[in-house]
Structure 1
Amino acid sequence: MLQVDIDSTRTFEAVSLAIECCQCTVHSDMHLYTILVAIFWCGSVDSRKIRGISSSYKRFYREKKSYLCLDGSKIIPFEQVNDDYCDCEDGSDEPGTSACPGGRFYCTNLGFRPRYIPSSRVNDGICDCCDASDEYNSHTRCQNSCRNLGQRERAAVEGQMRNLDEGLRLKQQLIEEGVLLWREKQAQLRDLQQVAEDLQIRLEGHRRRTQGADRLKELQAGDNDAQTLTKWKSGITQKNNTVSSVFQVLDSNKDGSLTADEIQAKVFIQDQEQGLSQDEAMALLGGRHQMNLALFQLTLWDSLRAGDRLKIKGAHGTQGSLGGEETHIKAVDREWEASDMKKLEDAYDTVNMEISDLQRKLTTDYGADREFLFLNSQCYQLKVYEYTYTLCPFSEVTQKSTTGTEVSLGRWGMWSGKPDSQYSHMMYENGEPCWQGGARSTVVTLTCGTETTLQSVKEPSKCQYIMDFQTPVACQPMPKQQGIHSEL
């Protein structure tokens, strides 16, 4: 009994014979069996013709008298399609054979991902398609592994989706933490600016007192003309009537000078029951036994205004006010000594540096939702062979050898991703000069992950580095798919 294997290779002569059989006239019942076989062959021709073709191209390979090459360069008899001879320049007439050098064979791979392979791999004894369709006429026995591959791929995709969901959840948490951190830094900046302003006022007051004291010494030591000194004192009195009023309140006996006893009688410490001691009063007078108005204006008056611990009693010995308003006289602290002036200046410089650093941080681009803010002031390390690489986002990238030598691979420059994914790459520039080359630089690629870690470091070209940095804030929602054409 004749059996026909529709999946085996059919020679061109056999196909031609089958076609002729289909068109002949039956003259005898003895030929009935032959006719049935021929009809079966005729019905299977189309199946042979379209091997290696995707469903979207099948319309070009329907059974007809002629075939037009897909590039439009030639028309050939349809019998020459898949006849193991390349007729079309684009190789489109041999989708199921290896006859054309640039041809492609389509693997349907039902249950997995369809794909194209070079037609040179057809019947080469190696299973390239998971459905084994590329080895239809070879001695290699290929098993259909598409189902298992599809299951593994779907499991991997599901795992990636779970990681993505977890990454997006962590990203939202980091965004919320970033908002709080941003507000905290703004409040910190305002506090530092207020501290800087207070320090500046205190420094200016101290400088004025120092300059006044130096001027007074010059007048007392270098000018013995009483008239000149009196004129200078008179000018100060006219300049500030408030100073004169306070002096008169403190000068109980109206002799034009203040003593320790008068200071004790008029000045008291706020929120304390006891008055000033003799030593404290002498300290306010600068160690002197008495002080006139001019000296009071240049020294004690500014010192009293600088503090917030002391108040002046009214003319009758009770807490009162000068000019109808309560006068608060600020205390004199030992910080106004010459050595403490340097401390104030150092503190002022330190605060201003902190302000500048905070302002720089607050003007940095941390993403649309400031999701990358948490990376600031953080550093991540990875050891690769004899080197330890350190990435400090928004600061610097360094390389440290086992000998302890550290080299800068670039300082924070900018976000360097494409317009549709701006925050996917970081650029660090102007690192230490490379031997016989330019400055070192590093590009950091950010990828989605449930942890924030430095994954890999490579040097594809001399002194040009690439880092893979994984973090949840790099996770992005999957776009809605509008349709996928895997064949083109």
Structure 2
Amino acid sequence: MRFHIVIAAVFCCGFADSRKIRGISSSYKRFYRERKSFLCIDGSKIIPFEQVNDDYCDCDDGSDEPGTSACPRGRFYCTNLGFRPHYIPSSRVNDGICDCCDASDEYNSHAHCQNTCWNLGQRERAYVEGQMRTLDEGLQLKQQLIEEGVLLWREKQAQLRELQQAAEDLQIKLEEHRRRKNEAEQTLKALEAGDSGLRHHNNTITSMFQLLDSNKDARITVDELQAKVTVIHDEGRLLSEDEAVALLGGAHQMDLTKFRHTLWDILTKGDRVKIKDTHGSEDSTVGEDSHLKAADRAAKWEATNLKKVEEAYDTVNMEISDLQKKLAIDYGTDWEFLFLNSQCYKLKVYEYTYTLCPFNQVTQENTAGTQVSLGMWGMWAGAPKNHYSQMVYENGEPCWQGGSRSATVTLTCGTETALRSVKEPSKCQYIMDFQTPVACQPVLKQRGIHSEL
């Protein structure tokens, strides 16, 4: 019976002594079980167990003094039941300042510390719960933006196909207008060179016929002929009716077709009769000039039409190029960031107004209205597990110290899309916090307070 009592007493004393070891976490308690000797955790030395926490540093790693300030490299573990546990440097133990919310670091000092762990834990739990609610709402909004992004992507793809079809149609029109312009220019050159061929000849015949056809009824009559034609050797005498009928081939009127094969030859030979007007030859020239002017107008008309089609073709191709550049940007695995394109977000910080236009540029404007580029869209630069968490904008305006300005934008989860903060930790290097629902990640819900509650 006595033997058992002794064993029990030893066990109780050993257990009690091990409980006095302050400044260690539950995962390290196995190293501080009561025994005759203590092995420094780094394996460098073995010391008697009674030298643990004796306020003298024996181990190089400070592991023999977890509850005192004796070792310069030592760490004291704050259990902080109800809040988050953490380590503090052992130099802060019993220094009169409460570092652990459970006051365990000031067990032997004049400081009167209260245990605030429960209140701190409540506040942090409320904060985490708020973050979780924000995350849930953000994820719902993100899903809506994903659906909108997919629809917008399809619309832009359809728009690109329409523009490409329009470009093909304009290409056909362009070739047709170029052909017609070339033909008009060739006709004009031929008229200007006096080599109009059969068409020019026919136009001259038509002009003379129209000169004789006073009432423009497409017929030359006896009266019209008597009014416009005279005998060469007796210009003062009028043609008789019989002479006029004879010139009309025995009829009292003549159309253009018959004129072309009969009277035209008689008038152009000029040995019997001629057109009474002394400016007849000039009238013929006027007719020729009218055709030249018409050809010139036609050439200019075709040139104008060609220019309009060329401008339309160039405009469509520019729109195609711009749209292709936009569609080539990485908008996320589900196009969730597509809605940010063509949007801009502003934030005023002291005397500066910062503007972030995602996938475009970042600018800074002072109160005088002077704007400076802080960088153009460069790339996504987030960690591999969250590639879309950071944007980089490069090649901004030169900095007075040399080099160019740049901006790094970190995307954080939120229920609104807004620019939240701008800082300049080093000269001409800017960092921004940009909040948006599309930055919310489901994996964040697994995070929380990992503590011994």
**What band does the TM-score fall into relative to the shorter chain?**
0.7 to 0.9
1:130 aligned residue: 101
How far apart are 1:481 and its partner, in Å?
Answer: 5.7
Distance 1:392 1:449, change over 3 A: same
Instruction: Name the counterpart of 1:51.
Output: 22
CA distance in 1 between partners of 2:309 and 2:321 (Å)? 18
Q: CA–CA distance in 2 between the matches of 1:254 and 1:193?
A: 52
The 5 A counterparts of 1:128-167 are 128-167=99-138
- 187, 192, 208: which one pairs with 2:163? 192
Q: 1:217: which partner in 2?
A: 188
Paired letter, 1:108: T
The offset of 1:43, in angstroms, is 6.2
Aligned position for 1:280: none
Q: 1:382 maps to what in 2?
A: 347
Cα distance in 1 between the residues matched to 2:66 and 2:177: 94
CA distance, structure 1, for counterparts of residue 310 and residue 196 of structure 2 = 37
What SS does structure 2 have at the residue aligned with 1:402? coil
- Stretches of structure 1 that go unaligned for 5 or more consecutive residues are 1-22, 27-36, 231-252, 256-287, 293-297, 304-334
Aligned counterparts of 1:254 and 1:131: Cα–Cα separation in 2: 120
When the two chains are superposed, the root-mean-square deviation of aligned CA atoms in Å is: 3.7
Residue 421 to residue 143, structure 1, CA distance change in 2 (3 Å): same
Equivalent residues of 1:167, 1:450 under 8 A apart: yes
Partner SS state of residue 478, structure 1: helix
**2:239 corresponds to:** none
Matches within 5 A, 1:336-375: 338-375=303-340
How many pairs does the alignment contain? Answer: 365
Report the CA distance between 1:123 and its aligned residue.
1.2
Where 1:458 maps in the other structure, the secondary structure is strand
1:472 maps to which of 412, 426, 437: 437
SS in 2 for 1:113: coil
Tell me: CA distance 1:67–1:111, structure 2 relative to 1, closer, same or farther (3 Å).
same
**What is the TM-score of this pair, normalised by structure 2?**
0.72
Contact 2:181–2:302 (CA under 8 A) maintained in structure 1: no
Moved more, 153-162 or 400-409: 400-409
**Counterpart in the other structure of 1:87:** 58
1:157 deviates by 0.5
Shift of 1:52: 1.1
* Cα distance between partner residues in 1 of 2:156 and 2:149: 10
Partner SS, residue 349 of structure 1: helix
Could you say which residue in structure 1 is the equivalent of 2:226?
Answer: none
Rounded to whole Å, the distance in 2 between the matches of 1:105 and 1:225 is: 109
Change in CA separation of 1:415 and 1:475 when aligned onto 2, cut-off 3 Å: same
- Is residue 448 of structure 1 aligned with residue 413 of structure 2? yes
Q: Is the 8 A contact 2:416 2:437 kept in 1?
A: yes
List 4+ stretches of structure 1 deviating above 6 A: 37-43, 227-230, 482-487
Instruction: State the one-letter code of the partner of 1:46.
Output: S
Offset at residue 61 of structure 1 (A): 1.1
State the alpha-carbon separation in 1 of the partners of residues 342 and 312 from structure 2.
Answer: 23
- Which residue in the other structure is 2:237 paired with? none
Alignment counterpart, residue 91 of structure 2, candidates 120, 128, 131: 120
* 2:400 aligned partner, one-letter code: W
Q: Structure 2: how far apart are the matches of 1:158 and 1:430?
A: 41
Query: Are the equivalent residues in 2 in contact too, given 1:206–1:336 (CA < 8 A)?
Result: no
Change (3 A) 1:123 1:476: same
Question: Does structure 2 conserve the Cα–Cα contact (< 8 Å) formed by 1:376 and 1:394?
Answer: yes
**In 1, Cα distance between the equivalents of 2:445 and 2:130?**
19
Q: Distance in 1 between matches of 2:36 and 2:196?
A: 131
CA distance in 2, matches of 1:360, 1:441: 22
**Worse overlay, 213-222 or 176-185:** 213-222
- What secondary structure sits across from 2:162 in the alignment? helix
The match for 1:425 is 390
Q: Name the CA distance, whole Å, in 1 between partners of 2:418 and 2:439.
A: 12
Q: CA deviation at 1:483?
A: 12
Work out whether residues 354 and 364 of structure 2, in 8 Å CA contact, stay in contact via their aligned partners in 1: yes
Q: 1:160 to 1:485 in 2, by over 3 A?
A: closer
2:400 is equivalent to residue 439 of structure 1: no
Pairs within 5 Å for 1:255-266: none
Return the offset for 1:195: 2.0
Q: Distance in 2 between matches of 1:340 and 1:229?
A: 26
Q: Is 1:408 paired with 2:379?
A: no
CA distance in 2: counterparts of 1:485 and 1:380, whole angstroms: 36
Distance 1:433 1:424 in 2: 27
Bigger Rg, which one: 2
Q: Which letter does structure 1 place at the counterpart of 2:343?
A: Q
Residues 416 and 40 (structure 1), Cα distance of their counterparts in 2 relative to 1, 3 Å cut: closer
Letter of the aligned partner of 2:187 in structure 1?
L
- 3-state SS, counterpart of residue 362 of structure 2: strand
Shift of 1:193: 1.8
